[in-house]
A and B are shown apart, each in its own frame.
Chain A
Amino acid sequence: MSMLNFLVRRIIYSFFVLLGLSIVIFIIARIMPGDPARMAVGARAPQWVVDQIREQMHLNDPLPVQYGYWLADAVHGDFGLSLVTQRPVTADIREFFPASLELVLVAGLLSALGGIGLGTLSARYKDTWVDNVVRLFSYAGVVTPSFVFAIFFVLIFAWELKWFPVIGRLSEQTPAPPVVTGLITVDSLLAGQFGTFLDALKHLVLPALALAMGAIAQEARITRATMADNLSKDYIAAERALGISEREVTGRFLLKPSLIPTVSILGLDIASTFSIAFLVELIFNWPGLARYGMQSMLNKDLNSISAVILVLGAVFVVVNIIVDIIVAQLDPRIRLSAARSE
C-alpha cells in the first residue's frame, strides 16, 4: 500500500520534471540561431513561401502560445517532420529507439553482473592480487571513454579473431523477425527464430560491452568500497559469530545492504549510456537513437532534437523510478520512512 502511494507520488513528480524539461527544450529550440521556417523549406525557396510556413508553424505568435501549440502536438506524439529523414520524427524515434534500448539493456545487464561480481571479488579478497587487478581495471575503466573500448574490441575480436561481427544488428543473410517490440532478441524469440536470436546476440556483445566498460568499472569500485566498509560492521561479525556460513553471510547478509549505493549509481549510468552511446553506435554502425540524435544536432534538425531530448528525459525519469523501487525493496528503512511520512 505504502509502496503504491510512493509510486504514484513519484510518477506525479516525474510528470512535472518532464514538463519542465519540455519548456527548456522549447526555449532552446527557439533561441537557436537560424530560422526554422527557412530551414524547413530550404535555402532557395522564395520569401513568400517562408512567410507562409512561418504562419503555419505559428512562429509569429508570442512564445507562450507557440509553446502551447508545440506541447499539444508533442502530447499527441506529433513532433513534426525531420529535416534529415523527411519522415515524421515519431516514426524515426520508433525505429531507432528500440535499437538503442536493446543495446543499453544488454550493457546495463553486463554492468550490473560484471560490476557487482568484480566488486564482490575485490572486497572478499581485499588487498590480495585479485583486488589489485580489479582496482587497476576499475581505474582504467573509469577514465577510458567507451569509444576507445569500442575501437579496441572491433580491432581485436572482430577484425583479428573474427569471433564477432563488426557492424549492424543482424547479418545480411539472417531473416529479420516481425517487429513487435523492436528489440530483435525479443522479437526473434517471440517468432521462434532461434538462429536470428543468436545472430542478434552476437551483434550485441561487442558494442554493449564497450558501452558497459565504464559502468562495470564504476560499479566494481562502488561495490568494493561499500562491501569493504560493511565487512567491518558488527552485524557481519554477529552473523558469523552465531554460526551462519561464510557463503550465506557474504552472499546474502553482506550483499543486500552493499547493493544499495551500487543500484543508485547503476541507474544513472544506464540512463546516461543512452546519451553517450553515439560514438559506439557510429563505430558499430548501429541504427540507434544516440546516433540519430547526434545527426539531428549537426543538421540543426530542431524537431528531431526536441523529440530525442524528451525521450532521453523520459528514460532518465523511468530509470529513476525503477531505481527507487529497487532501492526501497532492498532497504526497509526507506520503505518504512516512506510509509510513515504519508
Chain B
Amino acid sequence: MAGSPVTGFSPAAPLLDVKNLQVHFAVYGGRLRVLDGVNFSMRSGERVGLVGETGCGKTTMMKAILRVLPTPPAKIPAGEILFKGRDILKMRDHELRAVRGRGISMIFQDPTAALNPVFSIGEQVEAVIRYSTSPGKASSREETHQRAITALQEVALADPERLLRSYPIQLSGGMRQRVCIGMALSTRPEILIADEPGTSLDVTIQDQVLRLLRKLVEEKDTSVILITHTLGIVRETTDRVYVMYAGNIVESAPTARLFSQPLHPYTQGLISTVPRLTGGGIVSGIPGRIPDYLNPPSGCRFHPRCSQMMEICRTTKPPAFKMGDGHEVACFLYKDEAK
C-alpha cells in the first residue's frame, strides 16, 4: 500500500501516533475519566479497525484527534497526538486548519446530527470545499460549485443540483449519510475516520453505503480508521484492529491474527459471543456493563467482569505487552510471555 509522499517526514514513521491520550469530561458531581491513556498508531495507507462496545470512548478518541471535542466539558490532561510527527494538541490555528479536512477528515456517527439543520446542503458542502483548496489557489464560486456537484456524484447521489439547494430535513437517512461521506471525502484526506458509517440505516442501505465507501477509499488509496460494531466488516476491510474497553486500548493486532488468536479476555469474549456478523450490539454475551467513568475500577478496568482476574489486576493497570508480529495486549496473563 503506497503512502502519500510527504517532504520532511519519513514514510517508515507512523502517519498518526497517539500516545498516552487522556480525555476527561467535567460533569456535575466530578469528572468522567473516559480515555485513560490511549496508545494508537497507524501508517500511511493502512486501514485500521477500532472496535469496542458502546460508550467505550471510540468517538471521543476520534474527536480528540481532530481537537473537536466540546471544551468545556472535555479536558485533555495528558497525551500527544502526532500527525506526521507534529503534535496536533500543540498546533496553532492555522496549522490545525491544514490538518483538519485535508490531513484528517471524519464521517460522523450520526449523519442527521452532523449536518447543520439551518443551512442548505450546498452551503455546507461548498464551505468545506472552499477551505480544502490549497492555500494561494483560491477557487472561484463556479469552481467550488462544480466541485460540490462532483462530490455528491461520487457518492452516487442523483440530481446533485437540486440536492445542493435542499436542507437536511428534506433528505432521507441514506442520503444524509451519503452527503456526509461525500463531504468528508471532498477534502481528499490522507486519513479518513469513518465512525460507524451506516449504523443508523437499515441493513440493505447500510450495506450499499459500506460498499460505496470501500470502493472510494480504495480508488483514492486513503488511510482509514473504521469504527464499527460489526466484526464481519472489520475482518473484510481492515489491516489492523484495535480493541477498546472502557477508555483503554486493550489489544491490537493484524486483523487475521486478532481473529485467529485473540488474547485479551475481553477480545475473546467479543469474538466468541458474536451471534451473527451483522446487527446486534457487540458484547451482548459478556456479563456485566461498562464501568462508571466517575469512579472507574482500579487497576485493570476490565477486572470486575473478567473471569481470569488475578490479585494484581485489582491494583495495577496492565501495560501493553508486545507479543511479536505487531500483536500487543494489555493483560497481566501475558506478562511472562511478552517479548
Contact = CB atoms under 8 A, between A and B. Distances in A.
Interface of A: 126-127, 231-246, 248, 253, 256-257, 260, 330-333, 336
B144 interface: no
Interface stretch (B30-38, B64-72, B249-257, B270-278): B64-72
A253 B116 CA distance: 7
Contact of A257 (B70, B113, B116, B187): B116
Interface in B114-135: 114-120, 124, 127-128, 131-132
B102 A126 contact: no
Given A237-B63, A256-B119, A333-B167, A243 B113 contact: no
Contacts of B90: none
Given A241-B100, A246-B93, A235 B127 contact: no
Q: Which of A233, A238, A242 has the most CB of B within 10 A?
A: A242
Nearest to B130: A244
B7 interface: no
B199 to A, nearest CB: 14
A243 B101 contact: yes
Nearest to B93: A246
Given A240-B67, A242-B101, A242-B105, 11 more contacts: A127-B72, A232-B70, A235-B116, A236-B70, A237-B70, A238-B114, A239-B116, A239-B124, A240-B68, A243-B105, A244-B128
Contact of A241 (B73, B106, B116): B106
B183 A242 contact: yes
Contacts of A231: 70
A234 B127 CA distance: 17
A217 to B, nearest CB: 23
Given A127-B72, A246-B93, A238 B117 contact: no
A126 B120 CA distance: 29
Rank and list the top 5 A-B pairs by shortest CB-CB distance, nearest first.
Answer: A243-B101, A232-B70, A234-B113, A237-B68, A332-B167
Contacts of B106: 238, 241-242
B108 A237 contact: yes
8 contacts: A127-B72, A232-B73, A235-B117, A237-B66, A240-B66, A241-B101, A242-B106, A253-B119
Interface in B41-64: 63
A234 B114 contact: yes
B97 A245 contact: yes
A241 B97 CA distance: 9
Contact of A331 (B67, B72, B118): B118
A239 B127 CA distance: 9
A226 to B, nearest CB: 12
A206 B128 CA distance: 45
Which of A237, A245, A333 counts the most B-chain CB atoms under 10 A from its CB?
A237
B205 to A, nearest CB: 20
B329 interface: no
B131 A332 contact: no
B170 interface: yes
